[in-house]
Amino acid sequence: MKSICVLIPHFNDIEGLEKSLASISDLEPVDVVIVDDGSKIKPNLENLRNKYKQINNIYILNNKKNRGIEYVLNQGLQFIKERRYKYVARLDCRDICHPERFKIQKQLLEENPDIYLVGTWVEFVNKNGKRIFFFTPPTEHEEIKKKMFINNMFIHPSVMFRTQAIDIIGYYPTDRKNAEDYAYFFRFVRNFKTANIDKILLKCEVNPAGLSLSKRRLQIKSRIKVILDNFDLSFYAFYGLFRNLLLLFIPYKLVELLKRQK
């Protein structure tokens, strides 16, 4: 069985893709599958393989037209599962991995066979690499499980998980637009033990344009549906539902300002 395959969705951002590939070290051998979602200029496989020789192998799946992130992610998961990789790791274009990221995550999963999903602490930066804020979620499963109702306790491009989990929880849902990762990780939390590593192992670049107002509202509405999907009458469930309902009416700039104060 092969070890780790890193799944990277791509759409019209060759520069960002190469920035992320360059951050992958050879301290833990990995393969990479890039799923291009109908870009005008597609990544060149031969060029990438020649340029990033520290990566074991690079594969590219090309879509003729844009299908959407949840379909792209599932396309990548199917590829990884069919080739019998033990672990799936995620990465987004423009995000930067700590050199030991995959080594540390794999070690935790190897030493803890009951843990199926592991994320990390994350530093969010602007396009110039200047720090905006840190994301430091809880590390232990029971606290993660409770606080998932308040917010997603995993930054999507920071996670690594066991491919065999797909046999039990399936693929990313396609009916929770802009919150497919929140819904998917809730399935992990409800079915398996999870964890976060208390080290900054990823830098995520924040897009200054961000989500459009309409997409942000759609995301929050999808998040509310995810909370209701998993509702358990706990304090955290009620608090999380109220919090997300409130976010529908709070300007995003104010939310960003509050994050920067942490």
pLDDT in tens, 113-136: 999 999 999 999 998 889 999 999
Please write the tens of the pLDDT for every residue from 232-251: 999 999 999 999 999 888 76
0.85 surpassed by pTM: yes
Write the DSSP symbol of residue 70. Answer: H
d(CA 253, CA 251) in angstroms, rounded, equals: 5
Q: Write down the pLDDT at residue 209.
A: 59
Tokens 């109220």 belong to residue:
242
Q: Are strands 96-97 and 85-90 parallel, antiparallel or unpaired?
A: unpaired
Q: Delineate the domains of the chain, giving CATH numbers in brackets.
A: 2-260 (3.90.550.10)
Rg of the chain over all Cα atoms, to the nearest angstrom:
18
| CA–CA separation, 195 and 197 (whole Å) | 7
